Structure 1
Amino acid sequence: MKRARIAFLGAIHDAMEENGQLKLSDGRFVDQSEVVWLPPVEAGTIFALGLNYADHASEISFQAPEEPLVFLKGPNTLIGHNGQTRRPIGVEIMHYECELAVVIGKKARSVKREDAYEYVAGYTVANDYAIRDYLENYYRPNLVVKNRDTLTPIGPWFVEKEDITDPMNLRLYTYVNGDLKQEGTTKDMVFDIPFLIEYLSSFMTLNENDIILTGTPKGTVNVVEGDEVIVGIEGIGELRNTIVGDTEFSR
């Protein structure tokens, strides 16, 4: 089942996909083009993985880490499907990053990897843009690289874990202005989902609606104002957004 959170006629609704339309929780059906898409879950703590695909680490001249490279993101970064992501004036390198987002379903502490999927609610798609100009060190990405407002589109769908047979064998891809630029598979993660849940829960408590962004494969290229970027993951959906400049934000 594909679920979403949307705004329609001044109210926020939970919705599900049915025959290409959105069925609201009050029973009404609306066309997908009539709504404003919101992040599909109200996120708690957001964990982001760096260099979690060896091919991506190689393309930016780094080795894959020996233990997970994890940093935190604020919920201010998240925007929904069809949203606009701001590219600050003067920036030279801004990369999209198509990522599988794992949504935690219940409180988790000291979880063993063989039990990890019991703590997963489901999955969605994220595009975790990085502004490389501000990067001080790939192993210590600072706040302005990854935590700017509007920098992480997510959605449109939340897909329950039971509907994804093998989350570690899904195709990921990115189109920029209709051209395929990035393609990979989740089976190439350096640290898989069970490992990450075991690792994170070994020293901190994970809570419902915490999100783990699991990294991106190779194929990232620079995007500029006016570009339409579509990231997609097999079985979960496609997430579209547009790059805009400072003028859209009256600066």
Structure 2
Amino acid sequence: MLRCNDLHYAYPDGRGISAIDLAIARPGLVALIGRNGSGKTTLLNVLSGRLAPSGGNLRLFGRLIDPAGDVAWKARLAYCPSDDLLIGMLTVRENYELIGWLRCGDKQAWRAIGHQIEAFGCGPYLGLPAAELSAGQLRRCMILSLLIGRAELVLLDEPGNDLDIEGIFLLRDLLAELARERLVLVSTHIIDVVRRLELRALFMEAGRLVYDGQLSGDGLAAGHQLEDLYRSLVWDKSAGPVAADRG
């Protein structure tokens, strides 16, 4: 479904991602974990087509992606970025109609997720302009937009931002549900977002992937395996909180 070979992206100041080699062949949950500034957002922006890679190649759904070529593949992908996805002057319903039209040519496609809208507590927001929502309310509505059109590849960048504890619980349940039939790639620096979920973990540091492994079993259920791995492979090797404060 997704394959990267020696993928690079460089900003003018030299930061970015480099030498990304990654292959994901089937649906499931993949967590991209790293501190702020480690390159997670840049990688997701390249995978989603927001940024064109500086080097290497990217294959999605079995085809080589040419940023300057056909973009029909984007209809099979849904991306919830960390910044605003919804247009502030439009109501949430109007945003959902626009997303449905862009993703699958059906303005009413959002109605198929009515149950999830109510479960997430977003029903009362449908008639409100997105600009009037609180940060947490907006985040919930943005996350739900991923369900419109049944994309095969779902990307989420820091979806735990702005969510309260109930929102985190709802998000975890949604990630587990989506991962049964779709490839879900979620970036986070908050381990609670993916705690107790069976997943493939990718650790990112300084623009590179430094760990790639499947996590499951009692250690994962207790919530320790992921934290211990990250601490030993990334945190302890980079001077702990001093390095983290550099962003």
Higher strand share: 1
TM band (smaller chain)? under 0.3
